[in-house]
Structure 1
């Protein structure tokens, strides 16, 4: 009889403790919005919108001596993402770019883009993205919007730079290739 009473008591106490462990400490309320705004997206390295949302940025060839030590940068190339150019993208609309933190080439240790060149890759070099509106490197791990721009005259221009950055020491010679995914947001 004592064994059954002890077992029942232990079961009741463990059930009581388990209930306490799973008690809620707070509530997070999540809100959002889906916009009906449909703006054309294009990009490129020229002064006018390109032909689509997927576009290349070709960095200039630089000497390895330009990237002689950890953190050195060189070979900056300007590009822009253009939003608008159609009747449904109204003037006054605020837009920004969000570089997707799930992009496979993002180095989780640095927030830059890893060199993914498959043939003769340059060593100790990554690609850094700079928000040219504020001249500040973007930590691509952070999932943060770029500096917003406003659609004016039917179009908004979001300026950026891509550049080489030495990581882990002096850069070695070779090829550099990488990519990153982005989304346009309406902050």
Structure 2
């Protein structure tokens, strides 16, 4: 049984190594600045704040391509956020509300700006023969104040299956320390630390 377990761990390690390499390569590539670059920069700041909060690399939160998709779609609900490429159920539940705190006021301000422009155009057209055309100052979208989401509750962890990458990732991202995971699972701290490092969850 121990031999079979070691073989499974070896296979898991190889798979994780390939996955981590692919993610690193993807994060290096530069993407084209999306329409609404101001929103894109705000979302990048939220991603950086989340990476510091959870002590993980920014690309673990989501990729630049995912942020680009958010800028294009501008979801205003968690359901809409789940449809963004790269988010899914788990990441939307964990990080979605933080991104929505930036997107919602930005979209509301965009709508307000469009309504103002339409109203001004109608007024200018009706008064074209009576008053000179006045150019209204362009309103600037407000810079939202980012409020970090509350610390996540510890999920129901399958401690007997902590060697599984997904289970280990959920346990670590829930805020548990390596020592706590070692005590609950029976796995050594050194093995857990090496596994987390191979997944780019620690440095």
TM-score, length basis structure 1: 0.23
Greater strand share, structure number: 1
Greater helix share, structure number: 2
